[in-house]
Chains A and B, each alone.
Chain A
Amino acid sequence: MIRIFSITFLVFALASSAFTQGIQQTKGSFIDKFRQLDEVLPTPNTYRNAAGQPGHEYWQQQADYVIKVELDEAARRLSASATITYKNNSPDSLEFLWVHLDQNIFRKDSIKELTSDFGGTGRRGPATAAPGGGDPAKLSFGELRRQQGFDDRDYGFEIVAVTLKNGADLDHTIVGTLMRIDPKIPLAPGAELSFSIEWAYNIVEEDAIGARSGYEHFPDDKRKGGNDIFLLAQWFPRMAAYSDYEGWHNKEFLGRGEFTLEFGDYDVSITVPDDHIVSSTGVLQNPDETLTETQRKRLTESESAKRPVFVVTPEEALKNESSTPKGTKTWHFVADNVRDFAWASSRKFMWDAQGYQQKDAEIETVMAMSFWPKEGGELWRKYSTPAIIHTMEVYGRFSFDFPYPVIQSVNGPVGGMEYPMITFNGPRTDLQDDGDRTYSMSEKLFLVGVVIHEVGHNYFPMIVNSDERQWTWMDEGINSFLDAVACYEWDPDMPWTRSLARDLVPYMISENQVPIMTQSDSILQFGPNAYGKPSAALHILRDTILGRDRFDHALKTFSQRWKFKRPTPSDFFRTMEEASGTDLDWFWRGWFYTTDHVDISLDHIYQLRLDTKDPDIDFTRRRQEEADKPAKVGVRLDEENGIKPWVKRHPDLTDFYDENDIFTVTNKERNEYQGLIKKLEDWERKALERAVKEDKNYFVLEFSNVGGLVMPIILKLEFEDERTERLHIPAEIWRRNPKTVRKLIVLDKGDKLTRVEVDPDWETADANINNNAYPRKIIPSRIEVFKDKRSGFSRRDIMKDVKTELKSDDEEEEKDDKKAKKGDDE
């Protein structure tokens, strides 16, 4: 009990201190939702300035690599050596350097393994189940396979040597997934250090361990012993980033927070079995030694082709699958100014290519290429390379021309992962009994979507180099926003869901969530937090708040400012404000720094009418108002019961008051009115006369902010003549009272307002639409709507169907599949 209490208390204390940040409202309950982010954002300096630009003394480190690596296919093992040249561009002298050894996450004693909560939160491995509810603990076959994988082989880097150019040993200490290198003297500002590392490691089986790289085995291939696809990433010791805002980025790799590295030039020689095809970051330097003459010819042809051209055809790949290597072949790649390097190798790959032309760009022809095994089938042939090109067309408009000469999509065991110039994408076809390969509609959409997303990551964060380990949303959020834009432009009906504001509502009302501005490894509900919510926020910022012109200009400014540089969230927030000319601190505060959700309620509408002050008009109106009230119930019942009032029974006894009611105007009031008019200034009199003549309709709309997040109020006004009008009230209406506000709207005399609705197009993620319309209407629940819809299709007997067993009969499945193929099922 005590422990629970203290933890709860701690969480509460942290939350409240994060919120106050030195400023405390100690009177009343006012919350300044528009408070500037001054105390929250880091102080601008000469490295990154107050406008969100790289400052005049901006610097970043450089790390260049020359690597020789050999793949041992049979042993599934890499051996390599690298010479790393590290250039210290910082103003600091560095006593030590840090290097990432990410493969060490697969060591049995890694922090990630040791802190793995059995089947618990954020776990990346196979399913397990702890004991509970009377059930014993469960260990899945997948988890067993993973454990056995760890038992059978040792994973992680085997560092053979770390030496200086002259061969002298360099002191080094391995700390988890990192290694510290200690030069004899500190590396001075402007100085360079060249050193070599030799290493080897056993490649993990991607599917068994759950990684961002690894091998996949195909035991059913005709070749004896089957085949493998190797996807190699985080495969070399990578220099940790050293930045002006964080110093060494040496936070342990725990599996979720991804990477940020330094830009540098790579020269990599990859030795593989001589029947393998290699896809890699960089440009192939020795096609004469690695490709056949036919392949080279096809590659040249593809540069100006309108459709992808096969460099390795499906037939050739199929033949290759059964080949036996006679030796090895070395593929030599060079990549300039990239922040990482990855590659893939297999004899299973077919390969297509098409040049993408960027007129007047630094790189005019970018080679878009895809590599896939027969398992990728038609799906890959039709859509992978075209999706790459589409991504460059769309992202190029929003950011910059693609600055690398090559961009690739490779099919293997990884579902979707990005590296410079190369992406790994998972979708596949299914082999049917008749030997055909088919794919479902959602698999197709997934392929297009994942290729766009991973290629899009080449812009964010491979070029706009944000720190994924700290702020996942900066690359995933911006990239999800743009992939949704690209998907809309691919096919507006594409059901790409996670960026649509309305789809985020369940997440945004849920209780256990953290603000978007949370370090990657600590995020709860990772997908909606780092992908969906920031993406939806940016769509709202673009289409609802800033408008496309201002938003697109601002995002492009951000992209170009930080191209090949290292932005932080504050650089993004500041640039978007500076370039759009809009104070957005309330928006960043609400969407990125809190867990508020949007729920604006239209509580009341009051109608007002201007008094003319003229008793002949106003008194008549009052009389009418009185007459419009419902009759007294007692009087009505008396009438119904035939009770005749006394005055009706004694008509002879009337007086003045029977002729004149309380609203009768006398000259006394008329004289007062004349006196009033005389006392008015000329302009006052004119204003009154005009207002009386126009007799406009005045409405006061009263709103409350139930969700807490301040947002613009978008109104649809409906009139008696079925006309509608839109009204956009900026979010600043909430600045002095974030809980309730009133808005006066003035309508012409003839405008008879019948209904008002908040957020009619569901564009703001308003969580509760039941309070959006006035007058209120009953909004049926989702299930009620479904039942209504269904009652129109009485062809199905759900009561009977609900008892249907889960299909296991092959025959019935076959029938079903044939039907589905024809597309006549529905």
Chain B
Amino acid sequence: MNKSSRVRRSIRLLLASFFAVAVASSLIAHEQKTALTDIFYNERTGNLEIAHRVNVHDAEHALKKATDSRADLTRSAKAREAFSDYAAERFAISIDKTNKLKLKLVGQELERGYLWIYQETKIPSPTNASFYIENSILHDAVKGQLNTVNVRFRKKVSTLEFEADSGAKLYSRGKDQEVLKSE
């Protein structure tokens, strides 16, 4: 997306095609509407590890809306892979919002009612870096979806929340930051 700042200022309303799937049944007294992403740097492997946890039932509905396929995520590995692709497309880490890191999709697995999706990337020294995160997983499928991202750095946890309008958010460790680079 290479939009000029003029567009940004004039708050033009745009009908993005993928947003057309936005109407899902609302699950008021019941649904969790939350997805979780855990990000941490594995010093043993030199990988920035990203693990997304979504509710299988929410994911199924999202996939059904997005691809019009009748997905059974519990039984079909193909459907789970399709959802992983869907999720991977809706999550990004970047230094300046435009140069997105290449995240490798490691895989997915079921754990009880959750589907976990794993991504990772090799980075030289992330421990003191700041970076932008974007996370719109399920925003186009579940009304009021709230995605919580925990970035863990040693004993400190920083939490960012992503709702439908959040866009990119800055994760920042403080003054002496290094710039995150992908190898």
Contacts and interface: CB of A to CB of B under 8 A. Distances in A.
Instruction: Tell me, yes or no, whether A binds B.
Output: yes
Contact of A511 (B13, B158, B164): B158
B32 to A, nearest CB: 4
A527 B33 contact: yes
B143 A125 contact: yes
B28 A414 contact: yes
Contacts of A183: none
Contacts of A525: 34, 146, 148, 161
A141 B125 CA distance: 43
Interface in A136-175: 136-145
Interface stretch (A26-34, A220-228, A434-442, A560-568): A434-442
B157 A510 contact: yes
Given A442-B73, A509-B150, A823-B75, A122 B106 contact: no
B172 interface: no
Given A426-B27, A825-B78, A127 B19 contact: yes
Contacts of B32: 498, 527-528, 531-532
A207 B23 contact: yes
Contact of A786 (B1, B30, B71, B106): B106
A127 B97 contact: no
B82 A806 contact: yes
Contacts of A528: 32, 34
A392 B84 CA distance: 39
A432 interface: yes
Contacts of B40: 781
B181 interface: no
Contacts of B135: none
Nearest to B73: A442
Scoring A122, A416, A442 by chain B CB atoms within 10 A of each residue's CB, the highest score goes to A442
Contacts of B19: 127, 129, 138-142
A25 to B, nearest CB: 24
Given A127-B164, A415-B28, A807 B155 contact: no
Nearest to B155: A706
A801 B11 contact: no
Contact of A442 (B8, B11, B57, B86): B57
A578 interface: no
B79 interface: yes
B26 A415 contact: yes
B34 to A, nearest CB: 5
B20 A141 contact: yes
Nearest to A122: B144
Interface string B61-103: 0001011011111111111011001100100000001100000
Contacts of B82: 804, 806-807
B35 to A, nearest CB: 10
A138 B13 contact: yes
B76 A119 contact: no
Contact of B30 (A142, A413, A453, A805): A453
Contacts of A450: 27, 30
B122 interface: no
Contacts of B107: 786-787, 790, 798
Contacts of A138: 13-16, 19
B85 A806 contact: yes
Contact of B165 (A128, A212, A781): A128
Scoring A141, A258, A808 by chain B CB atoms within 10 A of each residue's CB, the highest score goes to A141
A417 B57 contact: no
A134 interface: yes
Nearest to B69: A813
A440 B167 contact: no
B175 interface: no
Nearest to A132: B167
Contact of B161 (A140, A512, A778, A816): A512
Interface string A772-795: 000000100111101101100000
A123 interface: yes
Contacts of B112: 495-497, 500, 503
Given A782-B51, A823-B75, A825-B75, A140 B12 contact: no
A781 B81 contact: no
Contact of B118 (A143, A440, A782, A804): A782
B25 A207 contact: yes
Given A124-B26, A136-B3, A506 B67 contact: no
- Chain B contact-residue range equals 35 or more
- Chain A contact-residue range equals 35 or more
Given A432-B70, A440-B60, A506 B164 contact: no
Given A258-B29, A783-B51, A121 B163 contact: yes
A808 to B, nearest CB: 7
A135 interface: yes
B139 A495 contact: no
Contact of B38 (A120, A453, A506): A506
A481 B173 CA distance: 38
B137 interface: no
Contacts of B13: 136-139
A760 interface: no
B157 to A, nearest CB: 5
A782 B119 CA distance: 11
A441 B75 contact: yes
A415 to B, nearest CB: 3
B30 A124 contact: no
Nearest to A468: B29
B46 interface: no
A794 to B, nearest CB: 13
A430 interface: yes
Contacts of A804: 81-82, 85
Given A506-B36, A820-B75, A798 B105 contact: yes
B55 interface: yes
Contacts of B51: 782-783
Nearest to B148: A510
Scoring A496, A782, A787 by chain B CB atoms within 10 A of each residue's CB, the highest score goes to A782
Contacts of B16: 138, 140
A298 B48 CA distance: 63
Nearest to B26: A210
A817 interface: yes
Interface string A502-537: 010011011111000000000011111001100000
A145 B36 CA distance: 29
Interface string B131-158: 0001000011001111010101001011
Contacts of A806: 66-67, 82, 85-86, 89
Contact of B73 (A132, A413, A440): A440
B23 A142 contact: yes
Contacts of B66: 806
Interface of B: 1-5, 7-8, 10-16, 19-20, 22-23, 25-34, 36, 38, 40, 42, 44-45, 47, 49, 51, 53, 55-57, 60, 64, 66-67, 69-79, 81-82, 85-86, 89, 97-98, 104-107, 109, 112-114, 116, 118, 120, 134, 139-140, 143-146, 148, 150, 152, 155, 157-159, 161, 163-168
24 contacts: A120-B165, A123-B144, A124-B143, A134-B97, A139-B19, A415-B30, A417-B28, A430-B64, A432-B70, A442-B56, A445-B113, A453-B30, A495-B114, A497-B113, A500-B112, A527-B32, A528-B32, A784-B42, A786-B116, A787-B107, A817-B69, A820-B76, A825-B77, A826-B75
* Complex A-B, nearest 8 residue pairs according to Cβ-Cβ distance, in ascending order: A415-B27, A119-B165, A416-B30, A132-B167, A495-B112, A495-B113, A142-B22, A511-B159
Given A127-B143, A415-B28, A806-B67, 13 more contacts: A132-B168, A138-B14, A442-B57, A442-B72, A442-B73, A450-B30, A509-B150, A782-B49, A801-B81, A806-B89, A807-B67, A807-B78, A816-B79
Interface of A: 118-145, 206-208, 210-212, 258, 413-418, 426, 430, 432, 438, 440-443, 445-446, 450, 453-454, 457, 476, 495-498, 500, 503, 506-507, 509-513, 524-528, 531-532, 706, 778, 781-784, 786-787, 789-790, 798, 801-802, 804-808, 813, 816-817, 819-820, 823, 825-826
